[in-house]
Amino acid sequence: MKSFWQEFTGIELNPRQKKVVNALLDAGKRRFEGYLAARKYRSLAKTSKATASRDLEDLVRKGVLRRLDGGGRSTKYDLCWERFESVGLSVPGS
């Protein structure tokens, strides 16, 4: 099976985004504590609130993350695991 980085090599991510995506991939499906929220992104990426918001929106636009139910300041995100599974990627924790 392909890895995330082999399949999505054409998607440009900045170093902060790569770091957070790797943390989600390492944790595996449904195993990242409490999902990803802007506050957790800021902590992992060591960045400002504004930059975290831009990065998260960019990841959603690129189809890497999806928004979970809820919204506003409590918006939570997770990897688009279904997308990865549909192209035959190895998904940790499946």
CATH number at residue 77: 1.10.10.10
Structure tokens at 94: 């499946």
Query: Which pLDDT band, with edges at 50, 70 and 90, does 5 fall under?
Result: confident
Asked whether residue 92 is assigned to any structural domain, the reply reads no
82 or 39, which is more confident:
39
31 or 27, which is more confident:
27
d(CA 37, CA 43): 10
Q: Look-up: residue for tokens 């928004």?
A: 67
What is the total count of domains within the chain?
A: 1
Asked whether residue 81 is assigned to any structural domain, the reply reads yes
d(CA 10, CA 72): 30
Question: Global pTM?
Answer: 0.81
d(CA 24, CA 26): 5
21 or 82, which is more confident:
21
Structure tokens at 52: 């975290």
**Segments forming the whole domain that contains residue 55:** 4-86
Asked whether residue 93 is assigned to any structural domain, the reply reads no
Query: Which pLDDT band, with edges at 50, 70 and 90, does 31 fall under?
Result: low
* pLDDT number for residue 87: 59
d(CA 76, CA 9): 25
Per-residue pLDDT at 65 exceeds 70: yes
